[in-house]
Structure 1
Amino acid sequence: MAFGPASRLGVSLFEETAPVEWVPGSSDGEREQIIRAVYRQVLGNAYVMDSERLTVPESQFKRVELSVREFVRAVAKSDLYHSRFFTSCARYRAIELNFRHLLGRPPLNLEEMRSHSMILDTRGFGAEIDSYLNSDEYQTHFGENIVPYIRGYKTEACQSMVQFTHTFELVRGASSSSLKGNLAGKAPRLNSLLIQSVPTAVVSPISPGSAFRNPLGSARTRLGTGADEQGKVYRVEATGYRASKTRPVSRFRFSNQIYLVPFNQLSATYQKIHQAGGVIASITPV
């Protein structure tokens, strides 16, 4: 079961699309559809050029020499995956993406992240990929013949509200890419959030500011009732800052920022944003 209205959370397409599964007697067209679905999920919805496709594993899958799970393994262990999501990313960002791509959910907690970091230290990249695909969790949900899919917004995949909200730090709607859609770029998105174990605001990917990152540089504290004397904190998303006002890069580039503001500081924050040349994109109660 999914939490909340799927259309507001940006997961309606996930809800409305049946899992892609290989069945005996599948046609060539159906097998090609499965191959595309594996690339889309394992490579994080990133574009794959014809020259980058894994022709040998594809051929083996079409001849039923590889199951869906083994084809997923071949893609996840490929130089293409390794270069996009391992060597070019910080370690904890790479592990976050492995969870997203191979199990369809965010990591549960910091200890789960550390255990996979230990696998990388002691056994290497190939063993790290195998640890997801050989797990009981993978077999239970996907088995040999189902393409992995995003499921971290469902109750059966989440053990806490923290884990649920962290899904939306990794997945910003069905059209989002692991390489884009968030200003954090290739930096870890969950590292400090897992340490503090605090839920984050869920912003619809169709709303203004959906590509914003969470504010940096300060520890998270309890939000909502009791956060201040009036009981509410607001997430203020601002855009339109000229880069020259924030750092010396091209004057044609724009910068975006997020503020978490108690009610009694909203007015001062509005003035600060406008004086700096910013435009308020949205204000959301947290």
Structure 2
Amino acid sequence: MAFGPASRLGVALFEETDPVELVPGRSEEEVEVVIKATYRQVLGNAYVMESERLVVPESQLKRGEISVREFVRQVAKSDLYRSRFFTSCARYRSIELNFKHLLGRAPDSYDEMKAHSAILDNGDFDAEIDSYIDSDEYQAAYGEFIVPYIRGYKTRNGQSMVQFTHMFQLLRGASSSDLKGNLAGIRPRLNSLVIQNTATPVIPPSGASDGWSFQNPSLSSRTRLGSGAGEGGKVYRIEVTGYRSGAVNRISKFRRSNQVFLVSYEQLSQEYQRIHKMGGVIASVTAVN
């Protein structure tokens, strides 16, 4: 089952769209649908020009010489995929995208990411791709003839809430692209979160709310209040989403996706009131020391 109203989390299209499968006796038009769905999933919803399409593997699929799984393998091993999601990305960004594109989910643990990093230590990009497509998980989820699809936003056996929230760091709606649209760029989204086994707020993408979207902030925020002050030197880190300035003109009020405030224990109540008055939503409160 999906967590919460799908329309508010930006995954409604995934909920409403059936998996794309290549069935016996398919028409040429139906095969073309499979091909386009494969490009869309494996290439992270990024635009593919006609000149970039893999003509030979497409022809093999149309003639029934290869399965959908083998076509997925060819796309994932192509120079097109390699240049977009491997050579131009940090290693752990590449790995987390491989999980998303080929298994439809986020990595479950740091050990899982390290195992794939070890494959890349040997300089074997093809073996890294094969490790997903030849896995029992891939076979159970997609088999030979279903195009991989996003499924990590659904709860499943053995999945913790931490793992579930990490999927939304990689998925910001059905129209988002893995090449564009995120301030983190080519840097990993999950590296520190997976290492520390830390959950993150599940925040609607900007199109599903009142104009703001979540971006994981740095602890070194420019805004620090009462750092080192208070009883026993205790300081609390308040993460705020949807924060806006106190401008009088409501039309011109700016919004920041995220801010972090460091305050003493004595200031917590006062700071809560100020944040809510300014239209912010408190996503988390954690002790710093």
Question: How far does the alpha carbon of each residue in 1:181-230 deviate from its partner, in whole angstroms, 9 at most, with x for none?
Answer: 321111000000011111101111122222x4201246xxxxxxxxxx9x
Correspondence 1:109 to 2:109: yes
Q: 1:282 to 1:36 in 2, by over 3 A?
A: farther
2:154 counterpart letter in structure 1: K
Residue 218 (structure 2) aligns with: 216
The change in CA–CA distance for 1:260 and 1:32 in structure 2 (over 3 A counts) is: same
Runs (5+) with no aligned partner, structure 1: 219-228, 241-253, 272-279
| Structure 2, unaligned runs of 5 or more | 221-233, 246-253, 262-267, 285-289
In structure 2, what is the Cα distance between the partners aligned to 1:51 and 1:119?
31
Equivalent residue number for residue 71 of structure 1:
71
Aligned partners of 1:238 and 1:281 also within 8 Å: yes
Deviations 1:80-114 (A, max 9, x none): 00000000000000000000000000000111000
After TM superposition, give the deviation of residue 18 of structure 1 in Å.
0.3
With the length of structure 2 as denominator, give the TM-score of the two structures. Answer: 0.80
The 5 A counterparts of 1:4-153 are: 4-122=4-122, 124-153=124-153
Checking the alignment, whether the CA contact within 8 Å between 1:19 and 1:147 is kept in structure 2 is yes
Larger radius of gyration: 2
> Hey, what's the Cα distance between the residues in 2 that align with 1:134 and 1:176?
28
- State the distance in 2 between where 1:268 and 1:239 align: 11
Residue type at the aligned position of 1:265: E
Structure 2 counterpart of 1:10, one-letter code: G
* Mapped contact 2:110–2:194 kept (Cα < 8 A): yes
TM-score normalized with structure 1 length: 0.81
**Matched residue, 1:235:** 240
Give % identity: 62
* 1:147-203 Cα shifts (integer Å, max 9, x gaps): 000000111276110111101000001111111232111100000001111110111
261, 265, 269: which one pairs with 2:271? 265
Q: What SS does structure 2 have at the residue aligned with 1:259?
A: strand
What amino acid does structure 2 have at the position aligned with 1:144? E
CA RMSD of aligned residues (A): 2.8
Deviations 1:108-136 (A, max 9, x none): 01110000000111251000000000000
Distance 1:263 1:35, change over 3 A: farther
Does 2:164 correspond to 1:164? Answer: yes
Distance 1:239 1:70 in 2: 49
SS at match of 1:105: coil
Tell me, what secondary structure is at the counterpart of 2:122?
helix
> In the TM superposition, what is the alpha-carbon distance from 1:5 to its structure 2 partner?
1.5
